[in-house]
Amino acid sequence: MKKVFSLVLIAMTVSLALVSCGGGGSATPVDMETKLQTYFQKGDFKKAINYTVEISVPNENTEMMKSMGDMFAEKMKQAMDEKGGMKDFKVTEVSNDGATAELKIDVTFGDGTTEEQTAKYTMVDGKWKKAE
């Protein structure tokens, strides 16, 4: 189960709807992360995965999510359900130098536990992309 939860964390931080459909290059890292975390909060893991794949710099994790989307979404749902789902999230810190950005996000789960997550973004061809 630790592996499944690790995959959930990777997906949440790899960060998971197409950016060009939602405002294109004008979307900021905070906008993008808020949209992604909202999908998780609503329990819409399929949209979270699709969004992560679209906004991320391609890598082996995003390719895995893309090819195994439904199965991955179900595993994420199970892991989140064990913590009572996501109750709330808040971007608590933003560091942005125009080429890279790092966000700290506090996530509160339904069981009352909290977790600090980090999301990294990089500017690619004039658009922000999730870096990990």
pLDDT one-digit tens code per residue, 43-77: 999 999 889 888 988 877 777 777 788 888 899 89
Per mean pLDDT, which range of 6-20, 36-50, 75-89, 109-123 is the poorest?
6-20
Domain ranges in the chain are 2-20+27-130
Query: Is the model's pLDDT at 83 over the cut of 90?
Result: yes
Query: Is the model's pLDDT at 124 over the cut of 90?
Result: yes
Q: Tell me, what's the pLDDT at 71?
A: 87
Query: Is the model's pLDDT at 126 over the cut of 90?
Result: yes
Amino acid of residue 39: Y
Q: Tell me, what's the pLDDT at 57?
A: 85
Question: Between the CA of residue 78 and those of 65, 116, 123, what are the distances in Å?
Answer: 16, 20, 33
Q: Report the b/e string of 76-91 with b at 16+ CB within 10 A.
A: bbebbeebeebeebeb
Q: Which CATH code is given to the segment(s) 2-20+27-130?
A: 3.10.450.50
